[in-house]
Amino acid sequence: MSLFPPKTQSAIDFAAELFRQAKHAVALTGAGLSTPSGIPDFRSTGTGLWSRDEPMEVASLSTFRTAPERFFEWFRPLAGQIFYAKPNPAHLSLAQLENAGHVRSIITQNIDTLHQRAGSQTVIEMHGTMQTLTCTQCYHRAEAKFYLDEFIANGRIPCCPRCGNTLKPDVILFGEQLPQAAWSRAQREARSCDLMLVIGSSLEVLPVAGLPMQALDRGAHLIIVNNVQTYLDVRADVVFTEDAAVIIPAIAEKVLNG
Ligand SMILES: [Zn+2]
């Protein structure tokens, strides 16, 4: 027996059918996918991290350059939440869908590496990653895992093992350009997919929010799973205003096991 109300169950069935028919399905994921993993939506207002400080200011490239200790102080609780978070059932289901050939790639606005930790292979990170740090002076790149434990525990700012300058997390700060290679790949995926699944993104931050429109303009189907409405709900084939960690596994189960 289904755990869902009949209307939700038929929407799940329909979404699964779209996946079975799709030849090139792409997922676009945002902060709402990782909130069930305990990571706050740090770009939204009223989620603690944002209200203590003005994030547009403290999480900006200019603050990082002029007062890195302020940036790191703001970043520390968030880094802890991200570093120790675990993939939730939605991440795991997406990885299963990809490994079974039903998802070609994942475009993500998240920096938490939970897709990769869940087993996804093709992840396009639009806002950078917590996986690595890069020296602001000599551009040496270092694995974050060797530095973050101590930073989170003691607040020790990560320093370059080569030249001693500050290591910057490879996340895109306010005032920084989106990574060009990732953006080109994301656009290519949006333009060549025949199904896009948007999860946990309110589609408010441009230019990433424009990717589903590029897919729609080329005739792709659109499924949206988000806890608030988006500007493209009216053009989507199916919209779920529910928890991604519940809905995505249900869709994946139906796609994989009928
Ligand atoms: Zn260096």
- pLDDT (tens digit per residue) in 192-201: 999 999 999 9
* 186 residue type, one letter: A
- pLDDT (tens digit per residue) in 210-251: 999 999 999 999 999 999 999 999 999 999 999 999 999 999
Q: Is the pLDDT of residue 120 over 50?
A: yes
Q: What percent of the chain has pLDDT over 90?
A: 83
- The answer to whether 3 and 241 are in contact (CB under 8 A) is no
* Best CA proximity match to 114, nearest among 103, 105, 125: 125
How many angstroms separate the CA atoms of 128 and 201, rounded? Answer: 16
42 alpha carbon to ligand 1 midpoint, in Å? Answer: 29
β-partners of residue 29 are: 108, 199
Structure tokens that stand for 56 in this block:
């547009």
Q: Which residues are catalytic?
A: 127
158 alpha carbon to ligand 1 midpoint, in Å? Answer: 11
How many angstroms separate the CA atoms of 12 and 205, rounded? Answer: 27
- pLDDT (tens digit per residue) in 161-201: 999 999 999 999 988 989 999 999 999 999 999 999 999 99
pLDDT: which is higher, 54 or 19: 19
68 alpha carbon to ligand 1 midpoint, in Å? Answer: 15
- Write down the pLDDT at residue 13: 97
59 alpha carbon to ligand 1 midpoint, in Å? Answer: 21
125 alpha carbon to ligand 1 midpoint, in Å? Answer: 24
β-partners of residue 134 are: 141, 168
- pLDDT (tens digit per residue) in 65-80: 999 999 999 899 889 9
Q: Is the pLDDT of residue 46 over 50?
A: no
Half-sphere exposure of 184 (CA within 13 A, CB side): 3
- Between helix 68-83 and helix 145-154 the angle, nearest 10°, is 110
143 alpha carbon to ligand 1 midpoint, in Å? Answer: 13
The mean pLDDT of the chain is 92
What does R_g of the chain's alpha carbons equal in angstroms? 19
What letter does residue 22 receive in the DSSP assignment?
-
Peptide bond between residue 179 and the one before it cis (omega within 30 degrees of 0): no
Q: Which of 37-41, 54-58, 194-198 has the highest mean pLDDT?
A: 194-198
How many angstroms separate the CA atoms of 109 and 66, rounded? Answer: 26
| Residue carrying the six token digits 């990782």 | 34
111 alpha carbon to ligand 1 midpoint, in Å? Answer: 23
65 alpha carbon to ligand 1 midpoint, in Å? Answer: 15
How many angstroms separate the CA atoms of 165 and 81, rounded? Answer: 25
80 alpha carbon to ligand 1 midpoint, in Å? Answer: 24
15: CB partners within 8 A, 6+ apart: 223, 237, 238, 240, 251, 254
| Residue carrying the six token digits 């040496």 | 140
